[in-house]
């Protein structure tokens, strides 16, 4: 009897996966980005950073840099930074003039992660309070933002613990972790799944596959992120089924980004022509 149930479950999942493709994922993600609740938009963006920086997902995220909610604007900056969307650098530089210090910090961090000098400059400004005359990006609004950053209460509200992102690869998951840990259901399993995104051993793959079916939605979201970043294409059908059937919107948003990532073709690294050795005439 159990065997029949497992076969039926497999067939249902396969059918859902076959009818759920990248276009469905983009539609779900667009729904999240346009949700009337800004917290839902932030959750959708917190997962969007796993996608590769290709034109369509980048354009969708860049549109939220002008969102009326500062949390959403900051999350958009973080997503572009995690994607390493170098084509978004001009718009991230413009975000350095945002009136909200949260957004300025997120934009600076994103630029810094892509080795852009303006991001490093702003972070130094925030850290030291010194202003460089040569700066072309430190506007009056940035000065005001920097002053707010010196207020301990403001620092707590901003969630400056995102600075942990400079300490290692796990840092990219910190904004998502903060959102997930706000839910009472979040647990150590949630953080463990997030951390496994940086593990490339075969031994951890079964654990992630199991986590995708966890009853705790925060664990499922964290596992989806790990599956996407590790390009575990063998889990695509399971991800597609979650995109189609999971009852939690937050999970469907994460599944949408993961499904898109798993179907994106990674760019081949450019191979530079070998230089001919210099020949010295005798």
Mean pLDDT of 138-163: 46
* Dihedral in degrees, nearest 10, Cα atoms 168, 170, 175, 176: 170
Domain span at residue 256 reads 168-263
> For the whole model, what pTM was predicted?
0.74
CATH at residue 213 = 1.25.10.10
Q: How confident is the model at residue 136 (pLDDT cuts 50, 70, 90)?
A: very low
Q: Would you say residue 229 lies in a domain?
A: yes
Q: Would you say residue 133 lies in a domain?
A: no
Q: Would you say residue 98 lies in a domain?
A: no
Q: Would you say residue 47 lies in a domain?
A: no
Determine the Cα–Cα distance for residues 253 and 9; give it in Å rounded to an integer.
23
CA angle 14, 20, 24 (to 5 degrees): 170
Q: Would you say residue 179 lies in a domain?
A: yes
**Which whole-number Å values give the CA distances from 30 to 34, 40, 59, 63, in the listed order?**
6, 12, 11, 11
Q: Would you say residue 214 lies in a domain?
A: yes
If one counts the domains in the chain, the total is 1
**pLDDT, tens digit, for every residue of 164-220?**
333 344 455 556 766 676 666 667 788 788 888 888 899 999 999 999 999 999 899
Q: Would you say residue 132 lies in a domain?
A: no
């Amino acid at each position: 009897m159990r065997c029949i149930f497992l076969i039926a479950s497999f067939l249902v999942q396969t059918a859902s996966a076959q009818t759920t493709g990248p276009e469905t994922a983009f539609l779900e993600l667009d729904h999240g980005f346009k949700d009337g609740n800004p917290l839902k938009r932030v959750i959708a963006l917190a997962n969007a950073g796993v996608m590769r920086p290709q034109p369509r997902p980048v354009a969708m995220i860049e549109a939220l840099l002008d969102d009326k909610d500062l949390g959403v604007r900051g999350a958009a900056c973080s997503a572009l930074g995690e994607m390493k969307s170098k084509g978004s650098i001009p718009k991230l530089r413009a975000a350095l003039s945002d009136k909200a210090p949260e957004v300025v910090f997120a934009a600076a961090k994103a630029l810094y992660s892509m080795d852009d000098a303006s991001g490093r400059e702003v972070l130094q400004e925030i850290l030291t309070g010194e202003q460089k005359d040569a700066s072309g990006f430190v506007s009056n609004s940035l000065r005001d933002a920097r002053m707010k950053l010196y207020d301990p209460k403001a620092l707590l509200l901003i969630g400056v613990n995102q600075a942990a992102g400079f300490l290692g690869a796990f840092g990219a998951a910190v904004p998502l972790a903060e959102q997930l840990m706000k839910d009472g259901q979040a647990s150590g399993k949630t953080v463990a799944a997030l951390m496994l995104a940086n593990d490339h051993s075969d031994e951890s793959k079964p654990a992630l596959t199991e986590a995708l079916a966890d009853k705790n939605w925060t664990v499922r979201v964290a596992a989806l992120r790990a599956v996407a970043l590790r390009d575990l294409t063998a889990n695509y059908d399971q991800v597609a089924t979650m995109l189609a059937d999971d009852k939690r919107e937050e999970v469907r948003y994460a599944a949408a980004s993961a499904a898109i990532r798993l179907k994106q073709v990674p760019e081949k690294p450019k191979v530079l022509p070998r230089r001919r050795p210099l020949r010295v005439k005798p």
